């Protein structure tokens, strides 16, 4: 039976006693769990060592884990396409079984996302990464958890508002986001707060569930989302935690009782999908190397701007002085952030300044309005996929040019800072 070995060099200055304690706590929780859809941790040793070819021994913390070769569920969705509701149901049943077991064992996961779900050699789902796992009833037994953590696009409203929260309820919220992504191929919103242009339709004060689904139906075939699917997801990502269903209610929901593919049908489909993923990763790597060679002529990390609509191919051929034109923007290596992360950063920037956001027909484009020096600044921001990177295009629509430039510089600095933080993780 093959195993996976993970080790962390204890010589690293970042591996202090607090971090070591956190890793050991995570390991002890995972080691205590035994479920077919949870990655198994067989052994952990905080006093291990590895020997270099020179004979030098390095102190490490090591873990012996179940070997799961199929890759992340995220890659299957991002690189081979969204799932049919039947396929999503097949995997969501496995996932909910694992989460029901985890909750029954007294723990909340708190970082449910597609990147933390792997597929094994038979394309069965495995839940991983228990770094944020905590006692489901709170460390003090109060029934609530208090730490602000998770992955923003999957975090429940109450976490985003930095309120105390119930572990089971926030896991169910994140599971609803996950289910939506499986079927739609994109997130249901940027951030679960009342000012989010997508989530606002689910908030108590302006609740309009039909509007929420009408927005997401745009550009998709009629009846793309089944009524049962809409009902289940709407309940799971409800604004009020008390409106979210229990695990038992999810398991017994009519959508969960629908038809699922056979194991053979899954193996056949996902064998084809994994071939497509490998091909696209190879293409991306080849494109990345080609871009690096092209960009070597004028250096990475430069900022380019264009007065008219941004032509990425044209901008790759020439270097422009800062502020020479207004206001399209890209970097020669692009942002290695996903579209959601870039727009989420922009939305946070606008929210923090009490601005307004309007939806655009395109999913990854929005219009923003800020008040600067008592004048309105209106601009659009759009994220476009380009080769192996994502490009941010910003266009001024209204407002003083100087005020816009100052706002624009602050905005781009925030996106770039987010990129640096993501890159360092």
Closest CA to 35 of 91, 94, 79, 76: 94
> Token pair of 246, please?
């229990």
Does residue 187 sit in the same domain as residue 256?
A: yes
Q: How many CA atoms lie within 13 A of 174 on its CB side?
A: 29
Burial of 162: CB neighbours in 10 Å, binned 0-12, 13-18, 19+: exposed
Q: Is 281 within a domain?
A: no
The model's pTM is: 0.72
Kindly state whether residue 164 falls inside one of the protein's structural domains.
Answer: yes
Residue 361 has pLDDT above 70, yes or no: no
pLDDT higher for 176 or 372? 176
> From its phi and psi, is residue 15 left (phi > 0), alpha (psi between -120 and 50) or beta?
beta
Residue 300's pLDDT is: 42
pLDDT band at 234 (very low <50, low <70, confident <90, very high): very high
| From 88-92, 321-325, 398-402, the region with the lowest mean pLDDT | 321-325
Number of Cβ within a 10 Å radius of residue 334: 20
pLDDT at 301: 43
Tell me the catalytic residues: 111
The answer to whether residue 242 is domain-embedded is yes
Residue 292 placed within a domain: no
* 204 within domain boundaries: yes
- CA distances (Å), origin 403, targets 35, 304, 391, 397, 398: 57, 19, 23, 13, 11
Say what the pLDDT of residue 381 is.
80
Cβ proximity of 7 and 58 under 8 Å: no
Q: What was the pLDDT predicted at 421? A: 56
Instruction: Determine the structural domain holding residue 33 and report its residue range.
Output: 3-66
Through-space distance between the first and last CA atoms of the chain, rounded to whole angstroms: 31
- Report the pLDDT value the prediction gives residue 310, as an integer from 0 to 100: 34
- Determine the Cα–Cα distance for residues 326 and 256; give it in Å rounded to an integer: 51
| pLDDT tens per residue across span 16-71 | 676 777 788 889 999 999 999 999 999 998 888 888 888 888 888 889 999 999 99
Which helix (H) or strand (E) element contains residue 198?
A: none
Structure-model confidence comparison of residues 132 and 296, the more confident one:
132
Residue 411 belongs to some domain of the structure:
yes
Give yes or no: residues 53 and 97 share one domain.
no
Tokens of residue 73, six digits: 């569920």
Looking at 49-63, 225-239, 246-260, 261-275, which range is the least confident one?
Answer: 49-63
Q: What angle do CA 286, 288, 291 make, to 5 degrees?
A: 110
Across residues 364-391, what is the average pLDDT? 73
- The confidence score (pLDDT) of residue 307 equals 30
Residue 423 pLDDT > 60, yes or no? no
Q: Where are the alpha helices (DSSP H) in 224-371?
A: 227-236, 247-251, 263-295, 312-315, 339-352
380 contacts 368 by C-beta, under 8 angstroms: yes
Of all residues in the chain, the percent with pLDDT exceeding 70 is 81
CA distances from 46 to 5, 7, 8, 61, 362 (A): 14, 10, 9, 4, 50
Number of H helices, E strands in the chain: 12, 13
What span, in angstroms and rounded, lies between the C-alpha atoms of 195 and 305?
A: 29
Q: Taking Cα atoms as reference points, which of 326, 332, 269, 350 lies closest to residue 296?
A: 332
pLDDT value of residue 387:
58
Is 160 found in the same domain as 46? Answer: no
Q: Which of 143-147, 233-237, 288-292, 421-425 has the lowest mean pLDDT?
A: 421-425
Q: Mark whether 243 and 303 lie in a shared domain.
A: no
- What's the pLDDT score for residue 302? 39
Which candidate, 69, 20, 62, 58, places its Cα nearest to that of 43? 62
pLDDT of residue 305: 33
- Condensed to tens digits (0 to 9), the pLDDT of residues 99-157 reads 999 999 999 999 999 999 999 999 999 999 998 999 999 989 999 999 988 888 999 99
One domain, residues 19 and 48: yes
Q: What's the confidence (pLDDT) of residue 363?
A: 59
On whether residue 283 sits in a domain, the answer given is no
Same domain? 104 vs 191:
yes
pLDDT-wise least confident of 94-103, 320-329, 402-411: 320-329
The string of pLDDT tens digits covering residues 201-223 is 999 766 799 999 998 998 899 99
Task: Identify which of 279, 425, 412 has the alpha carbon closest to the alpha carbon of residue 335.
Answer: 412
Match 């602000």 to its residue by tokens: 148
Instruction: Report the number of distinct structural domains present in the chain.
Output: 3
Omega before 165 within 30 of 0, i.e. cis: no
Residues 195 and 256 in one domain: yes
pLDDT of residue 324 exceeding 50, the answer is no
Residue where a domain stops, chosen among 31, 66, 101: 66
Domain presence at residue 217: yes
């Amino acid at each position: 039976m093959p195993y996976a070995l993970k080790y962390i060099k204890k010589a690293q200055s970042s591996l202090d006693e607090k971090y070591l304690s956190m890793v050991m706590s995570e390991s002890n929780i995972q080691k205590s769990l035994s479920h077919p859809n949870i990655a198994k941790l067989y052994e952990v040793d905080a006093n291990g060592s590895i020997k270099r070819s020179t004979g030098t021994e390095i102190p490490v913390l090591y873990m012996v884990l179940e070997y799961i070769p199929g890759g992340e569920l995220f890659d299957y969705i991002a690189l081979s396409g969204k799932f049919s509701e039947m396929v999503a149901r097949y995997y969501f049943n496995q996932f909910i079984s694992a989460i029901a077991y985890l909750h029954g064992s007294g723990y909340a996961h708190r970082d449910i996302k597609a990147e933390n779900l792997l597929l094994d050699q038979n394309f069965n789902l495995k839940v991983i990464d228990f770094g944020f796992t905590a006692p489901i009833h709170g460390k003090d037994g109060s029934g609530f958890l208090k730490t602000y953590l998770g992955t923003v696009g999957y975090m429940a409203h109450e976490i985003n508002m930095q309120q105390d929260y119930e572990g089971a309820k926030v896991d169910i919220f994140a599971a609803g986001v996950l289910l939506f992504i499986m079927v739609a191929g994109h997130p249901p919103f940027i951030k679960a707060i009342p000012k989010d242009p997508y989530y606002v339709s689910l908030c108590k004060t302006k609740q309009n569930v039909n509007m929420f689904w009408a927005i997401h139906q745009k550009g998709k075939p009629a009846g793309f989302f089944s009524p049962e699917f809409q009902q289940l997801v709407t309940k799971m990502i409800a604004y009020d935690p008390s409106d979210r269903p229990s695990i038992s209610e999810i398991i017994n929901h009519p959508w969960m009782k629908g038809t699922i593919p056979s194991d053979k049908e899954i193996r056949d489909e996902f064998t084809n999908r994994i071939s497509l993923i490998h091909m696209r990763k190879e293409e991306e790597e080849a494109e990345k190397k080609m871009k690096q060679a092209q960009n070597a002529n004028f250096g990475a990390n430069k900022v380019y701007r264009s007065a008219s609509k941004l032509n990425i191919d044209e901008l790759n051929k020439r270097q422009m002085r800062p502020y020479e034109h207004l206001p399209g923007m890209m970097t020669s290596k692009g942002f290695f952030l996903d579209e959601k992360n870039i727009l989420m950063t922009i939305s946070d920037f606008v929210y923090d300044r009490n601005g307004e956001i309007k939806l655009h027909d395109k999913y990854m484009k929005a219009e923003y309005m800020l008040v600067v020096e008592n004048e309105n600044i209106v601009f659009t921001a759009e994220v476009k996929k380009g080769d192996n990177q994502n490009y941010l295009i910003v266009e001024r629509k209204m407002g003083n040019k100087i005020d816009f430039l100052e706002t624009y510089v602050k905005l781009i600095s925030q996106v770039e800072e987010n990129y640096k933080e993501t890159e360092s993780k």
